[in-house]
Structure 1
Amino acid sequence: MFGFQRRGLGTPRLQLWLLLLEFWEVGSGQLHYSVSEEAKHGTFVGRIAQDLGLELAELVPRLFRVASKTHGDLLEVNLQNGILFVNSRIDREELCGQSAECSIHLEVIVDRPLQVFHVNVEVKDINDNPPVFSLREQKLLIAESKQSDSRFPLEGASDADIEENALLTYRLSKNEYFSLDSPTNGKQIKRLSLILKKSLDREKTPELNLLLTATDGGKPELTGTVRLLVQVLDVNDNDPEFDKSEYKVSLMENAAKETLVLKLNATDRDEGVNGEVTYSLMSIKPNGRHLFTLDQNNGEVRVNGTLDYEENKFYKIEVQATDKGTPPMAGHCTVWVEILDTNDNSPEVAVTSLSLPVREDAQPSTVIALISVSDRDSGVNGQVTCSLTPHVPFKLVSTFKNYYSLVLDSALDRESVWAYELVVTARDGGSPSLWATARVSVEVADVNDNAPAFAQPEYTVFVKENNPPGCHIFTVSARDADAQENALVSYSLVERRLGDRALSSYVSVHAESGKVYALQPLDHEELELLQFQVSARDAGVPPLGSNVTLQVFVLDENDNAPALLATQAGSAGGAVNKLVPRSVGAGHVVAKVRAVDADSGYNAWLSYELQPAAGGSRIPFRVGLYTGEISTTRALDEADSPRHRLLVLVKDHGEPALTATATVLVSLVESGQAPKASSRTLVGAASPEAALVDVNVYLIIAICVVSSLLVLTLLLYTALWCSATPTEGACAPGKPTLVCSRAVGSWSYSQQRRQRVCSEEGPPKTDLMAFSPSLPLGLNKEEEGERQEPGSNHPGQARDPSVCCSRFCSLQPGRWGAASSTTPSTRRPNTAPSWAASRRTWGWSWRSWCRACSGWRPKDTGTFWR
């Protein structure tokens, strides 16, 4: 049944109108049913699933449930057939008292998606309460002098039912003296009274026992009885009389104790003791005897307890005034006390449903919770409005009277705020208003929306060569702003090939810790820079990742001893024989020891020492500290031994230093005995150079032309770059710098290599390598003295090779590495390109140029080529 009881519905037109009314109410979002009180368990109430448009098969999956704020166990729904039935005893009087309207409000909630329906079940009254009199026996004192048609008020019965079931009729047991005057409508405005039909005679009938029966209008009828004991009194023939038979008073429910309600006044026309009146309370309905007091002497009615509008809105006080005559006479009146509402009840807030936690990618308007509010006050005092904590991504939406939905108002970000403590404030319309709050904790569930992030996009690592296999060289670390599995980061190499080998054969990374290991010993001579990427990925679905670049610079160790060139002394385990005429003077170059070192930097800077002769004898030869040239220290004479065994020690500048030894056998011959071929052999590499003089001339001309064109191109490029490129963050080559030392005929090389990563995220990065050996001042002078022997035609004496070196460097910008200023934050030592690469690219041009300009042979200086 929907909103009416299906009894006799009358005409078909009336049935059709009621049916349309039912469907209109269902469409409006609220169903109405009715059920009689005291219905048995299982009594059918309505097909609630069908009326709500829900399929029976989806009730269980969608978590169909019925909730009631205070009476959740009275009604229940069978999830198999969708029928709402009575679950436990329903007592309408217990639920609603004597209120004309009585209903049970139900909330029907289904999930996926979340829907809320409101159902009102009207509880119909049945005649289950008989009329009840407050006393078992009522005593009436009636003077025998009372005239016929005199009225004597009686206390009527009360019925807990309503409407017809509470409409009482009275009948009096048969007697000859009294008849009954009873009310004829439900409001019972007319007093229930006994009417004296004929005068009483105390001597004949001093006492009468009557039975008063009250019958309600229910079907079946129920009755209640009270015994009336009528005592006939003798001659006090005037009753006390009140000013009014009924009084109406209004009181605020917060009236204090001893507040005066009303002062009654009753008068008696008798004189003396028969005219003295006292007051007494007969009854206070409903159940309010303890709330009021009556002064028996002056008739003042005062408040004696706490009045509550929410419990009772009206009180009916029956007052009796009795004189002191013999017999005493009494008068009666009724006081109606109306209780006025004050704002003494705070609103009540209840969170009835939650959908937590909330995913951070939840769409706006997603329902988070259902909130109901109520206020026991009435009128404006019971009108409640709700508000939410400000500045939160949620809002309250009113869905029904005193019902709100807490919905998502804007996007969430768990990484910014992982939980919200919401405060819902309900405030009534009273003055002053009262409020109540409820807290709702909303946790934001994480989704994988943040990729792992490294602290910087690139790391520079320095590792010494010859490291042990499996050594730890660096640790990468990425942070993921997400939580739990979404923040669990694993690391892996971004595989690529280095030449003919895979990157994974050089390094590996631990998947969990991010530690990078070198799988094999690294060799600076084979690989100076190992650049690769490490990927970090989280465990989310789908996974997110990012990469970081590692530049691993392999630092040189002194692990290569100097190696003598195959054409030099000591090669193949033998000694080189040199024939020297005795007529040569001081400073004559006898031979030149050539050696190379596979290392770089100071580890490849070679020096030459002549070991003392056996027996401690002095020999007329010396070796250039850095040139390796063996020359005479004085003019030879006949006293010198005809054969000399020279042992030259070649040593690098590493720690510890590594050495090699060359043996040169010098034979002194007379000037006429020295063959021409031998003279060419004595000067070492000078004879091949003489044969290539013509070729060098053409090479010099070609180098000059190419160098001039290169310088012109660089000047034009620099001018265009300076006019078009901003000063900050520009990617441009720095000024090349080459420092050539004049010390002892050798030179030192300083080179800067700038590696620039042009991006919008940071300044350019540069690498610097400086190779500039410092020599003692005295040693420089000594070597210059050796090179300046008067009258010598040796090519090394013609001019300072460093001057030629400087001239050539000025014509070759960029060939020996681009120099640039290095910021303190990005300075990296020992990152220049390898000397071997420079030698392979520009070695021949440099040798040809130096031969042409000075006759100096850079090929003879092992330190230059490394």
Structure 2
Amino acid sequence: MALLRRDSLGTGQLLRLVLLHTAWEVGSGQVRYSLPEESKHGTFVGRLAQDLGLEVSELVSRMFRMVSKGRGDYFEVNLQSGVLFVKSPVDREEVCGQSPLCAIDLEVIVDKPLRIFHVEVEIQDINDNAPVFPVSKENLFILESRFSDSRFPLEGASDADIGTNSLLTYTLSPSEHFTVDMRTNDEKSKSLVLVLSKPLDREETPEHNLLLTATDRGKPELTGTVQLVITVLDVNDNAPVFNQSLYKVQLLENAPNGSLVIKLNATDLDEGINKDIIYSVRSVTPLSESSMFSIDSNSGELSVNGKLDFEDTSLHDIQIEATDKNPHPLAGHCNVLVEVLDVNDNAPELAVTSLSLPVPEDAPPGTVVALISVSDRDSGDNGKVTCSIPPDLPFQLVSTFKNYHSLVLAEAVDRERVSEYKILVTARDEGAPSLSASSSILVPIADVNDNAPAFPQPVYTVFVKENNRPGAHLLSVSASDPDVWENAFVSYSVVERSVGEQQPVSSYISVHSESGHIYGLQPFDYEELQALQFQVSARDAGFPSLCGNVTVQLFVLDENDNAPAVSPPGSGRGSPGPELVPLSAGAGHVVGKVRAVDADSGYNAWLRYEVQEAGTAGPFRVGVYSGEISTTRALEETDGPSQILVILVKDHGEPALSATATVSLSLVESPHAVKWDSRQRVGSERPLVDMNVSLTIAICSLSGLFVLVIVVYVGLSCHPGPEVMCGPGKATVVCSSEVGSWSYSQRQSRNLCVWEGTAKNDLMVFSPNFPPSPKIEGNWKQEQLICDGQSL
């Protein structure tokens, strides 16, 4: 710490300043400088950065700044050298008035990390004000009969400086009759008196002109003068006398105008007009308060003539004069010392500085948000101030230095929960009644990227018909992020993986990065790919970025784009040739089977067999769904040696696709042929039946599964909640006469029943692959259907 002084300061004064400086550092722990008032611009005050322990090279990067508290902008810091210097001259009398200690408080603030230093610059008084008398000329009237050593009060001079610079000594121009003397009434009141050292003789000298000089003790000394005109009066030998020379009175500063201070009484031993007394206020100290009091000239009642203010002046010294009514009056004098008592008439004052806003939501507890200074012009308990903020806020006030508080973060904050806080800071003094002041601080919370994008559902399911148009829109996904700005800007992408034979997912679908629209890049072929499961990632633009994933299940729906394919004739026996039918075959005898398959699925692969021209079938019929050729009656010789049947095979698609098969039947009488045909029924017929049975059951089973998936999906979409547990379902009966279009199924057969004789219908029983939900189990009860006019 640096200590400045003028060369004119004495050794004793310098020692006192050093001792004062040492006591201050021990008591406050802050940096303190001393500076004479009226120092010119650029005057060196101290090496502030060095004294605060800061690196000069870091002042700019750490945002070094200095704030002056309510005293004006008198100082500045050179950021290149860290030196504190005078920006504008300081007039101590203007800043602090008559206060014995004058100091300017400075706040030094640096960031990274945030630190606050309190610097105090004491302004030393210099002798820049000369003593001043209230008047330039004073008239005195003194009876020639007054004895030696008589004393006459004079109005002294005042000096705006303090300390030794305001200590005055008085000298009188040479005179054999008069001298001046400073009379001390007590520790607070001093009176300047003119002393008669030698009796006067009016006939010899009726008037004396003297020059009274007031000199202060500053360096250099300054002086002020007043001319004393003393008129010598003829004998009125008794002056009024007060019962005491000093009166002490206490008044509250809120005493109303006109309040009685004291009733004075003076007596005069003379008679007549020499005994009648007139009272007047001769002077009031300080001079600026000379009109604050008035006295009734006849009664001697001293009253308040204005508004007292303890904060401006706490002590008034009033000199009262009592004169008789003689043409050449005599006067008596006394002093009234009025002590003004403080009342709590000043509310605290709040000042909020150095706001560090906005506050990041990841700021740690203890982060300083704002600096708050409080003050109260009252004294004692009336000037003691406490600060508070409302409870249930993630902030607290921490007292730092004198009347300074820091608003700090007490706990973690979350912008998504509360985006800003309005904090009401209340300062309340300890007066009775107490007074308060408040200031509102709006603290916004800055967003950080602490929330990953989230999808509203864990899985998206979409059904797409095969042979879709390349680039067609399939579905859209959307994720939300509770953050703001770039932390909430979401972009979408596909999580790459291989499908099938090392084909990447991105070769099948693409996702628009901004909208989340999913497009198919190529036509899907149900016969190659029935289902595709992939993940879509949603990533925000924060730093570091966060992401969330969702699963998309894409099911390819079959379309009727494959016609039935008929197996080559004779493939069931292993050798080509016509089917041999014994003439002895009765009605319902199976003579052969047409084999056909369809690469499609569901209804599109469910085949129906019929004779293309029913009139040419003769005694034969073909099973509608089995493709078995059987007799409708016993064969006769009139039926001819051979028959040719054209069998039409078509699926149930929309539109239906078909194929034809020509079957040649030869009627023979050989028992061997009949025996061979029997073997065909045992050995060859069963695989043929099993094949169509498996296909038919698969169609029914997977069609039921599709219906179940649709019902469950609609149920979950309409009633979101806990995962639905599925239970076992019942089989559903589907008749051969039932007409409909199945959009999706899997090839999984359950059972096939073929009745001997004149089979009226083909019956299939199947159950879904997935058990139904308990909530919708009632929808899956076995239904009674009427097939070919009969109840099943």
State the TM-score, normalizing by the size of structure 1.
Answer: 0.76
Gaps of 5+ in 1: 570-574, 701-739, 778-782, 790-795, 810-815, 830-866
Task: Give the distance between the partners of 1:236 and 1:747, measured in 2 at CA.
Answer: 147
- For residue 250 of structure 1, report the CA deviation from its aligned partner: 0.9
Match of 2:622 in 1: 623
Task: Give the distance between the partners of 1:450 and 1:163, measured in 2 at CA.
Answer: 67
Match of 1:358 in 2: 359
TM-aligned CA distance change 1:160 to 1:330, over 3 Å: same
- For residue 823 of structure 1, report the CA deviation from its aligned partner: 5.2
TM-aligned CA distance change 1:520 to 1:746, over 3 Å: closer
Instruction: Say yes or no: does 1:774 pair with 2:773.
Output: no
Superimposed CA distance per residue, residues 78-109 of structure 1 (whole angstroms, 9 cap, x where no aligned partner): 23333222221111111111222112222222
Match of 1:511 in 2: 513
Structure 2 counterpart of 1:220, which letter? P
Task: Give the distance between the partners of 1:377 and 1:261, measured in 2 at CA.
Answer: 23
Structure 2 counterpart of 1:325, which letter? N
Match of 1:598 in 2: 599
Indicate which of 769, 772, 785 corresponds to 1:821.
772
Match of 1:167 in 2: 167
Structure 1 counterpart of 2:53, which letter? G
Task: Give the distance between the partners of 2:544 and 2:779, measured in 1 at CA.
Answer: 39
Counterparts in 2 of 1:135-284, with a 5 A limit? 135-183=135-183, 189-284=189-284
TM-aligned CA distance change 1:602 to 1:428, over 3 Å: same
- For residue 433 of structure 1, report the CA deviation from its aligned partner: 1.7
Instruction: Say yes or no: does 1:656 pair with 2:625.
Output: no
Question: Aligned to 2:469, what secondary structure does the other structure show?
Answer: coil
Task: Give the distance between the partners of 1:644 and 1:398, measured in 2 at CA.
Answer: 114
TM-aligned CA distance change 1:3 to 1:680, over 3 Å: farther
Structure 1 counterpart of 2:329, which letter? P
Is the 8 Å Cα contact of residues 766 and 827 (structure 1) preserved in structure 2? no
Is the 8 Å Cα contact of residues 163 and 186 (structure 1) preserved in structure 2? no
Instruction: Say yes or no: does 1:481 pair with 2:432.
Output: no
Question: Aligned to 1:485, what secondary structure does the other structure show?
Answer: helix
Superimposed CA distance per residue, residues 761-785 of structure 1 (whole angstroms, 9 cap, x where no aligned partner): 84557999988533459xxxxx999
TM-aligned CA distance change 1:103 to 1:115, over 3 Å: same
Indicate which of 521, 524, 539 corresponds to 1:537.
539
Is the 8 Å Cα contact of residues 31 and 118 (structure 1) preserved in structure 2? yes
Superimposed CA distance per residue, residues 426-454 of structure 1 (whole angstroms, 9 cap, x where no aligned partner): 22221222222222332333332222222
Match of 1:104 in 2: 104
Task: Give the distance between the partners of 2:730 and 2:496, measured in 1 at CA.
Answer: 30
Match of 1:117 in 2: 117
Structure 1 counterpart of 2:237, which letter? D
Structure 1 counterpart of 2:69, which letter? K
Structure 1 counterpart of 2:351, which letter? A
Question: Aligned to 1:225, what secondary structure does the other structure show?
Answer: strand
- For residue 131 of structure 1, report the CA deviation from its aligned partner: 0.8
- For residue 543 of structure 1, report the CA deviation from its aligned partner: 2.2
Structure 2 counterpart of 1:47, which letter? R
Is the 8 Å Cα contact of residues 396 and 410 (structure 2) preserved in structure 1? yes
Superimposed CA distance per residue, residues 518-546 of structure 1 (whole angstroms, 9 cap, x where no aligned partner): 11122222222111111222222222222
Task: Give the distance between the partners of 2:778 and 2:509, measured in 1 at CA.
Answer: 25
Question: Aligned to 2:313, what secondary structure does the other structure show?
Answer: coil
Task: Give the distance between the partners of 1:784 and 1:167, measured in 2 at CA.
Answer: 133
Which range moved further: 309-318 or 191-200?
191-200
Structure 1 counterpart of 2:651, which letter? D
Task: Give the distance between the partners of 2:770 and 2:189, measured in 1 at CA.
Answer: 116
- For residue 478 of structure 1, report the CA deviation from its aligned partner: 1.9
Match of 2:450 in 1: 449
Is the 8 Å Cα contact of residues 64 and 111 (structure 1) preserved in structure 2? yes
Match of 1:45 in 2: 45
Superimposed CA distance per residue, residues 575-609 of structure 1 (whole angstroms, 9 cap, x where no aligned partner): 98556566654434444333222222223222223
Structure 1 counterpart of 2:653, which letter? G
- For residue 817 of structure 1, report the CA deviation from its aligned partner: 7.5
Task: Give the distance between the partners of 1:182 and 1:142, measured in 2 at CA.
Answer: 19
Is the 8 Å Cα contact of residues 602 and 771 (structure 1) preserved in structure 2? no
Counterparts in 2 of 1:558-597, with a 5 A limit? 558-567=560-569, 584-597=585-598
- For residue 517 of structure 1, report the CA deviation from its aligned partner: 1.3
Is the 8 Å Cα contact of residues 726 and 772 (structure 2) preserved in structure 1? no
Match of 2:717 in 1: none
Is the 8 Å Cα contact of residues 601 and 699 (structure 2) preserved in structure 1? no
Question: Aligned to 1:415, what secondary structure does the other structure show?
Answer: coil
Task: Give the distance between the partners of 2:498 and 2:552, measured in 1 at CA.
Answer: 15
TM-aligned CA distance change 1:419 to 1:576, over 3 Å: farther
Task: Give the distance between the partners of 2:518 and 2:774, measured in 1 at CA.
Answer: 27
Gaps of 5+ in 2: 713-720, 739-751, 781-792
Is the 8 Å Cα contact of residues 576 and 664 (structure 1) preserved in structure 2? no
Structure 1 counterpart of 2:427, which letter? A
Structure 2 counterpart of 1:788, which letter? G
Superimposed CA distance per residue, residues 8-38 of structure 1 (whole angstroms, 9 cap, x where no aligned partner): 9979xx9999699759928963122211112
Task: Give the distance between the partners of 1:84 and 1:545, measured in 2 at CA.
Answer: 53
Identity %: 57
Match of 1:291 in 2: 292
Is the 8 Å Cα contact of residues 185 and 191 (structure 2) preserved in structure 1? no
Task: Give the distance between the partners of 1:324 and 1:137, measured in 2 at CA.
Answer: 24
TM-aligned CA distance change 1:222 to 1:188, over 3 Å: farther
Counterparts in 2 of 1:270-669, with a 5 A limit? 270-286=270-286, 287-500=288-501, 501-567=503-569, 584-612=585-613, 619-637=618-636, 645-666=644-665
Indicate which of 757, 779, 790 corresponds to 1:788.
757
Task: Give the distance between the partners of 2:543 and 2:698, measured in 1 at CA.
Answer: 65
Superimposed CA distance per residue, residues 139-175 of structure 1 (whole angstroms, 9 cap, x where no aligned partner): 2222344333322211111111112211111122233
Question: Aligned to 1:239, what secondary structure does the other structure show?
Answer: coil
Structure 1 counterpart of 2:600, which letter? D
Counterparts in 2 of 1:783-862, with a 5 A limit? 787-788=756-757, 819-822=770-773
TM-aligned CA distance change 1:559 to 1:139, over 3 Å: same
Task: Give the distance between the partners of 2:624 and 2:558, measured in 1 at CA.
Answer: 24
Counterparts in 2 of 1:744-755, with a 5 A limit? 749=701
- For residue 470 of structure 1, report the CA deviation from its aligned partner: 1.3
TM-aligned CA distance change 1:6 to 1:151, over 3 Å: closer
Structure 1 counterpart of 2:158, which letter? S
- For residue 116 of structure 1, report the CA deviation from its aligned partner: 2.0
Is the 8 Å Cα contact of residues 576 and 663 (structure 1) preserved in structure 2? no
Superimposed CA distance per residue, residues 327-365 of structure 1 (whole angstroms, 9 cap, x where no aligned partner): 233322221111111111122222222322222222222
TM-aligned CA distance change 1:96 to 1:259, over 3 Å: same
Superimposed CA distance per residue, residues 41-78 of structure 1 (whole angstroms, 9 cap, x where no aligned partner): 22222222222222322223223333211235212222
Question: Aligned to 1:532, what secondary structure does the other structure show?
Answer: strand
Counterparts in 2 of 1:1-20, with a 5 A limit? 2=2, 5=5
- For residue 692 of structure 1, report the CA deviation from its aligned partner: 7.2
Match of 2:83 in 1: 83
Task: Give the distance between the partners of 1:257 and 1:23, measured in 2 at CA.
Answer: 44
- For residue 293 of structure 1, report the CA deviation from its aligned partner: 2.5
Per residue, is there more helix in 1 or in 2?
Answer: 1
Task: Give the distance between the partners of 2:323 and 2:27, measured in 1 at CA.
Answer: 64
- For residue 129 of structure 1, report the CA deviation from its aligned partner: 0.7
TM-aligned CA distance change 1:459 to 1:824, over 3 Å: farther
Superimposed CA distance per residue, residues 806-853 of structure 1 (whole angstroms, 9 cap, x where no aligned partner): 8xx9xxxxxx98552325599999xxxxxxxxxxxxxxxxxxxxxxxx
Is the 8 Å Cα contact of residues 319 and 335 (structure 2) preserved in structure 1? yes
